[in-house]
Chains A and B, each alone.
Chain A
Amino acid sequence: MLKFERFTLANGLRVLVHKDVTTPMVAVNVLYDVGARDEEKERTGFAHLFEHLMFGGSVNIPEYDEPLQMAGGENNAYTTNDITNYYIQLPIQNMETAFWLESDRMLSLAFSEKSLDVQRKVVCEEFKEHYINKPYGDAWEHLRELAYTVHPYQWMTIGKELKHIEEAQLSDVKAFFQKHYTPQNAVLCVAGNVRTEDVKALAEKWFGPIPAGEKYVRQIAEEPTQTAARSKTVMADVPLDALYKAWHIAPRLSPAYYAADLITEVMGSGFASRLYQRLVKERQLFSNISCYHTGSLDAGLLIVEGKIVEGKSIEEANEAVEREMQLLTEQGVTDEELQKAKNKIEAMIAFEDMTLLSRANNIAFYELLGDAEMINQEWDRYQAVTAQFLQETAAICLRPENCNTLFYKKKSA
């Protein structure tokens, strides 16, 4: 049970305070309600490029990192298809430094051509390192395009193509900032041995004067229900064939989301999971296999991916996966399997709660979803999933016509 207090500033910034008297550190987490799903189709990769620019100095502070490091702090940030999150951990004595830095870059960035130019290059190298210069690195690009016809989840956070990043202009970047980086679109969470009134005073002092800005109202086309199976074959210079399958699942707050999460535990998490045991160990069709989901806020994807054992047929491997999914749909899970999946979730929640940063991040995240209190209801939501509901969810989600299959094949020499 995580405890917290909250208040909202006049400009709309939501602030949460989580007290932990055992730690000498404080975590300051600023979550912005903007991700790759808020980008335009012709200008992808912006939310993430922007995350880089947030470290290029702000209106009153030329260097972001230096003063933070001087204060004994460490920070980083990440961007997903849904959100952008910035976090700091530093000794509690220097907490105000974090307020000073974070509020100034929410107020306004010091946009410079030089900073944009360098970060464009850095992001292009990140793109190359993770998605081009790696075998199977572009699999997700194909899979997203296949699975989403209208929803902006059809592109990766890094961007659809290098060109979009290379062509980013300073004016685009400024417009993006004004639209999304406002107090109304952000959640601040402070965790550590702090008193709410002290956090409130600091928040008023540093974030209070920032203009509220305009409320961004998200308008994203919902992905229509898929009615026919889709597949795509890619030939590439890779050592082994690989199979990727994606089924649409329910949005983050739906009860079916929790059932889908448990399905991935049963099917493909760990050496005792069904897919691993049957397809890697018994039938030896795959050299590795995993089943997981994208954890998206809008309707996401349940994924099965694996590499095919050399000499085995990818078509046979695909049929075997489909057969396992069908078995789950037809027969459901045993009580023991369901209990195991729930036990894993219970342990995962406890281990995640160990670190201060993770607690600060999660509290902010649930507040963004609508109510931070939901963090304490997560376990109940998993508990509420019965074997029958899991099977019903499987029947809806794992329908063959809801499936997207990517055959990633080795180009013959």
Chain B
Amino acid sequence: MLDRTKAPQIHDAVEFTFALPPINTRQLQNGIPLYWLNAGVQDVMEIDWVFPAGLWYEQKPAVSGAVAALLKNGTSKYTAQQINEALEFYGASLKVNPGNDNCTVTLYTLTKHLPSLLPMVYEILTDAVFPEEELAIYKQNSIQRLLVNLRQCEFVANQRIDALLFGEFHPYGRFTRKEKIEALLREDLLAFYNAAFNLSNVKMFMAGNVGEKEVNNINEVFGNIIPVKAELQSEQFSAPGPSEKKHRVINDEAGVQGAIRIASLFPNRHHPDFAPMVVLNTLFGGYFGSRLMSNIREDKGYTYGIYSSLAPFVHGGSLTIHAEVGRDVVEPAVKEIYHEMETLCNEPADEEELLLVKNYLLGNLLGDLDGPFSILQRWRTIILNGLTAQHFDNNINTYKNITSAELQALAQKYYHRDNFYEVVVI
């Protein structure tokens, strides 16, 4: 007779071995670095061009976002319509993602169409002209989008918490305002594009069903130009001065939910506490079985979801707890968040829970090492942060071996109520 109360024997993921499949490193004939790997069975591929063109390098607010949005909207030879037509005809997509530090241009395509697409990508990356009329349309439509976003409590809460953490004038902390978009000039965009989207600063990544043929194709298109070295300007920013830590904002009188953001600064991947914090953060609010989710969603029903997450950047980072909760239970929810922090400081997690978190984390990581794009994503993080494959192995080691006592000590070091900024936007 089948005993359904008894779980089948499992193999703990902590016992598995984890190997990051290797990546090939190649320099194009003009020195542009290309990192690539062949994996997967479908005839698909991804190429990324990563430029140091994030918010960090802006000399004028809102420029990096505008350049990213208008990159494909005209070169000296082609109109926006012609460019988009050329890319979309092959079912390809070219996405431009501006971030805090970098701007990543990503091409997704069926491998067979690569030769037809590369010349157009080259045009875009070397000869974008940002026509006035395109800028005017961009300004109009992005201001409209901003107006809609500003009506949403979570959008406003995200803006506020970053400004509190990093300071309103810091690239990571300042947020888009209507006036900043209105003030954009074509010259600003061109200046930023010429300085930041410079092939002397690019790193290229490629994965999918690819091989020497694709590498050679890239070399033919991108390897001939002799890039003129551009010096990037950037400033040092000091931490914001002390400010009020708790903020309650009514953005919508009729709102039925409050967006809670509770956050503190937290170092980036180079810090020895980062990998241990990945484990602690998972336990605290990083997965469905987390302390926060179990208490605030699954026991109390205050929210559809609550998470805590780490956001590491080149020049700093943060740790943030976020949830949208019923308007009438905002304060009880905030109280429970701190309560869970205190519990982690006061009591070590039991062995069963710790093993569960490790197995979950590692089991997922195994899934993440499956598929060309997710392997490439891991490598991109390692390379762009100036780390090595050794870092990956060290992290695995930490995930496997960290103890409850170490996690408790880590909680005591970072989960201080006084370190956290608190924003609730209704």
Could you tell me which residues of chain A, from 94 to 139, have a CB within 8 Å of some CB in chain B? 94, 96-97, 99-100, 103-104, 107, 117-126, 128-129, 132-136
Q: Are B88 and A125 in contact (CB under 8 A)?
A: no
Tell me the complex Cα distance, A123–B170, Å: 38
Interface residue? B371 (CB, 8 A) = yes
Interface residue? B101 (CB, 8 A) = no
Q: Are A309 and B144 in contact (CB under 8 A)?
A: yes
Contact with B along A326-356 (1 / 0, CB 8 A): 0000000000100110011111101101111
Interface residue? A188 (CB, 8 A) = no
Q: Are A97 and B289 in contact (CB under 8 A)?
A: no
Tell me the complex Cα distance, A125–B326, Å: 6
Of chain A, the residue at the smallest CB distance from B44 is A350
Q: Are B324 and A129 in contact (CB under 8 A)?
A: yes
Q: How many chain B residues have a CB neighbour from A under 8 Å?
A: 75
Q: Which residues of A are found within 8 Å of B43, using beta-carbon distances?
A: 350
Could you tell me which residues of chain A, from 246 to 278, have a CB within 8 Å of some CB in chain B? 270-273, 277
Tell me the complex Cα distance, A354–B45, Å: 11
Residue of A70, A94, A97, A107 with most chain B CB atoms under a 10 A cut-off? A70
Tell me the complex Cα distance, A271–B80, Å: 9
Q: Which of A65, A67, A281, A345 contacts B137 (CB 8 A)?
A: A281
Q: Are A118 and B257 in contact (CB under 8 A)?
A: no
Residue of B91, B288, B298 with most chain A CB atoms under a 10 A cut-off? B91
Q: Which of A99, A128, A347 contacts B257 (CB 8 A)?
A: A128
Q: Are A97 and B7 in contact (CB under 8 A)?
A: yes
Could you tell me which residues of chain B, from 126 to 142, have a CB within 8 Å of some CB in chain A? 137, 140-141
Tell me the complex Cα distance, A91–B153, Å: 39
Q: Which of A133, A272, A280 contacts B255 (CB 8 A)?
A: A133
Could you tell me which residues of chain B, from 83 to 134, have a CB within 8 Å of some CB in chain A? 84-85, 87-92, 108-110
Of chain B, the residue at the smallest CB distance from A281 is B137
Q: Which residues of A are found within 8 Å of B255, using beta-carbon distances?
A: 133
Interface residue? A240 (CB, 8 A) = yes
Interface residue? B360 (CB, 8 A) = yes
Q: Which of A97, A281, A287, A339 contacts B145 (CB 8 A)?
A: A287
Interface residue? B239 (CB, 8 A) = no
Of chain B, the residue at the smallest CB distance from A242 is B148
Interface residue? A310 (CB, 8 A) = yes
Tell me the complex Cα distance, A263–B161, Å: 43
Q: Are B364 and A74 in contact (CB under 8 A)?
A: yes
Interface residue? A196 (CB, 8 A) = no
Interface residue? A90 (CB, 8 A) = yes
Q: Which of B109, B287, B369 contacts A69 (CB 8 A)?
A: B287
Interface residue? B228 (CB, 8 A) = no
Of chain A, the residue at the smallest CB distance from B4 is A60
Give the 6 A-B residue pairs with the shortest CB-CB distance, closest first.
Answer: A72-B363, A121-B301, A347-B91, A72-B13, A272-B84, A96-B8
Tell me the complex Cα distance, A22–B41, Å: 9
Q: Which residues of B are found within 8 Å of A71, using beta-carbon distances?
A: 10, 13, 359, 363
Interface residue? B302 (CB, 8 A) = yes
Q: How many chain A residues have a CB neighbour from B under 8 Å?
A: 80
Tell me the complex Cα distance, A345–B366, Å: 30
Interface residue? B356 (CB, 8 A) = yes
Q: Are B257 and A25 in contact (CB under 8 A)?
A: no
Q: Are A351 and B80 in contact (CB under 8 A)?
A: no
Q: Which residues of B are found within 8 Å of A277, using beta-carbon distances?
A: 81
Residue of A72, A96, A107, A206 with most chain B CB atoms under a 10 A cut-off? A72
CB proximity of B133 to chain A, nearest CB, Å: 9
CB proximity of A103 to chain B, nearest CB, Å: 8
Of chain B, the residue at the smallest CB distance from A132 is B256
Contact with A along B30-42 (1 / 0, CB 8 A): 0000000000111
Q: Which of A66, A272, A288, A310 contacts B88 (CB 8 A)?
A: A272
Q: Which of A70, A74, A307 contacts B356 (CB 8 A)?
A: A70
Interface residue? B297 (CB, 8 A) = yes
CB proximity of A368 to chain B, nearest CB, Å: 24
Q: Are A25 and B89 in contact (CB under 8 A)?
A: no
Tell me the complex Cα distance, A59–B5, Å: 9
CB proximity of B77 to chain A, nearest CB, Å: 17
Interface residue? B220 (CB, 8 A) = no
Tell me the complex Cα distance, A74–B363, Å: 8
Q: Are B148 and A125 in contact (CB under 8 A)?
A: no
Interface residue? B164 (CB, 8 A) = no
Could you tell me which residues of chain A, from 4 to 18, have a CB within 8 Å of some CB in chain B? none
Tell me the complex Cα distance, A345–B371, Å: 21
Of chain B, the residue at the smallest CB distance from A271 is B84
Q: Which of B12, B92, B151, B367 contacts A239 (CB 8 A)?
A: B151
Interface residue? A209 (CB, 8 A) = yes
Please report A residues at the B interface, Cβ cutoff 8 Å.
Answer: 22-25, 59-61, 65-67, 69-74, 89-91, 93-94, 96-97, 99-100, 103-104, 107, 117-126, 128-129, 132-136, 205-206, 209, 237-240, 270-273, 277, 280-281, 284, 287-288, 307, 309-310, 336, 339-340, 343-348, 350-351, 353-356
Q: Which of B254, B298, B359 contacts A118 (CB 8 A)?
A: B298
Q: Are B366 and A97 in contact (CB under 8 A)?
A: no
Q: Are A356 and B370 in contact (CB under 8 A)?
A: yes
CB proximity of B176 to chain A, nearest CB, Å: 15
Q: Which residues of A are found within 8 Å of B80, using beta-carbon distances?
A: 271, 281
Of chain A, the residue at the smallest CB distance from B326 is A125
A121-B301, A310-B144 are known contacts. Are A70 and B359 too (CB-CB below 8 A)? yes
Of chain B, the residue at the smallest CB distance from A100 is B8
CB proximity of B335 to chain A, nearest CB, Å: 17
CB proximity of A54 to chain B, nearest CB, Å: 13
Q: Are A97 and B356 in contact (CB under 8 A)?
A: no
Residue of A67, A94, A123, A307 with most chain B CB atoms under a 10 A cut-off? A94
Of chain B, the residue at the smallest CB distance from A269 is B88
Interface residue? B325 (CB, 8 A) = yes
Q: Are A94 and B299 in contact (CB under 8 A)?
A: no
A66-B289, A94-B10, A122-B297 are known contacts. Are A74 and B367 too (CB-CB below 8 A)? yes
Contacts A72-B362, A124-B326, A350-B42 given; 15 further ones with Cβ under 8 A? Answer: A70-B356, A93-B11, A93-B16, A96-B8, A96-B9, A117-B301, A121-B302, A126-B304, A128-B326, A129-B324, A136-B148, A239-B151, A273-B88, A287-B141, A347-B108
Q: Which residues of B are found within 8 Å of A136, using beta-carbon distances?
A: 148
Interface residue? B318 (CB, 8 A) = no
Tell me the complex Cα distance, A315–B297, Å: 44
Contact with A along B342-366 (1 / 0, CB 8 A): 0000000000000111011011101
Q: Which residues of B are found within 8 Å of A135, using beta-carbon distances?
A: 148, 151-152
Of chain A, the residue at the smallest CB distance from B111 is A350
A61-B5, A271-B84 are known contacts. Are A354 and B324 too (CB-CB below 8 A)? no
Q: Which of A25, A121, A346, A348 contacts B366 (CB 8 A)?
A: A25
Tell me the complex Cα distance, A138–B355, Å: 43
Q: Which residues of A are found within 8 Å of B91, using beta-carbon distances?
A: 340, 343-348
Tell me the complex Cα distance, A190–B90, Å: 33
Q: Are A351 and B42 in contact (CB under 8 A)?
A: yes
Of chain B, the residue at the smallest CB distance from A340 is B89
Q: Are B13 and A91 in contact (CB under 8 A)?
A: yes
Could you tell me which residues of chain B, from 213 to 259, have a CB within 8 Å of some CB in chain A? 252, 254-257
Q: Are A61 and B4 in contact (CB under 8 A)?
A: yes
Q: Are A336 and B89 in contact (CB under 8 A)?
A: yes
Q: Which residues of B are found within 8 Å of A122, using beta-carbon distances?
A: 297-298, 301, 303-304
Q: Are A125 and B303 in contact (CB under 8 A)?
A: yes
Tell me the complex Cα distance, A280–B254, Å: 32
Q: Which residues of A are found within 8 Å of B371, using beta-carbon distances?
A: 354-355
